[in-house]
Amino acid sequence: MKCNRCEKPATFHITELTEPEGPKVLHLCEEHAREFLATDSVSPSSAISSVLAKQLKMEKVAEEIEASDKKTCPVCGITFAEFRKGGRLGCAYDYVAFEDDLEPLLVNIHSALGHSGKVPKNLRGSPERQRQLAQLREQMKLAVKKEEYEKASSLRDQIAAIEAGQLSEEETTDEELPPSDSFQSNPHDEQ
């Protein structure tokens, strides 16, 4: 459908409740819809502007969803769209790769963000570390292929060091953690 005022497609469908003539339907492109509301020419009620505001917001959300859906995890290769469809993530690194998109979802599910509770003694299992290892292994393979043996051997040492957990200290500080006590939920708060 074309805009009532130009050749562009109409993306806004406004029903104006005008008195005393009764409801008036307008089909407008985004530009003219804005103009229509801004100029106040047909005395738009506040109700209509709020509907439009909502519509604009929805449109934005739709765009955002589309952008999110294309995001791909560099480690396991899953797209955000695939996750949305199946409801299951592909690997731990997805929590890093899709962080911005998962955050609102987590708030929605748990009404909270930030882990509180048990912490394993062995903290080597961070997805960042796994990614680092994956990258280094890839680089090492490449180095071997190119017969850069010195480089490959240094990479091998790095991998071994990470695997042995010598770099785990560094990693935990890497995570930009808020002060831990802000997460400590006290059982008494729950009452």
Burial of 144 (C-beta count, 10 Å sphere; 0-12/13-18/19+): middle
Name which position in 51, 106, 136, 167 contacts other proteins (CB under 8 A).
106
Residue 91 in the binding site for other proteins (CB under 8 A): yes
Q: Minimal CA–CA distance to 94: which of 138, 127, 64? A: 127
Q: How far apart are CA 113 and CA 96, in angstroms?
A: 14
Residue 166 in the binding site for other proteins (CB under 8 A): no
Nearer to other proteins, 47 or 107 (CB): 107
Q: Which stretch binds other proteins (CB under 8 A): 3-11, 18-26, 31-39, 104-112?
A: 104-112
Peptide bond into 44 cis (omega under 30): no
Nearer to other proteins, 16 or 101 (CB): 101
Contacting other proteins within 126-145 (CB under 8 A): 126-130
Nearer to other proteins, 12 or 83 (CB): 83
CB of 101 to other proteins, least distance (A): 11
CB of 76 to other proteins, least distance (A): 5
Report the run of H or E that residue 13 belongs to, with start and end.
Answer: strand 12-18
Residue 109 in the binding site for other proteins (CB under 8 A): yes
Rounded (10°) angle between helices 46-70 and 30-39: 150
Contacting other proteins within 8-67 (CB under 8 A): none
Report the run of H or E that residue 24 belongs to, with start and end.
Answer: strand 22-28
Q: Minimal CA–CA distance to 30: which of 43, 46, 42, 12? A: 12
Name which position in 19, 20, 121, 147 contacts other proteins (CB under 8 A).
121
Identify the DSSP state of 39: H
Q: Are 97 and 133 in contact (CB under 8 A)?
A: no
Name which position in 64, 67, 86, 149 contacts other proteins (CB under 8 A).
86
Nearer to other proteins, 23 or 187 (CB): 187
Chain residues in the site for other proteins (CB under 8 A): 75-78, 86-92, 94-95, 102, 105-106, 109-130, 172, 175, 177, 180, 183-187, 189-191
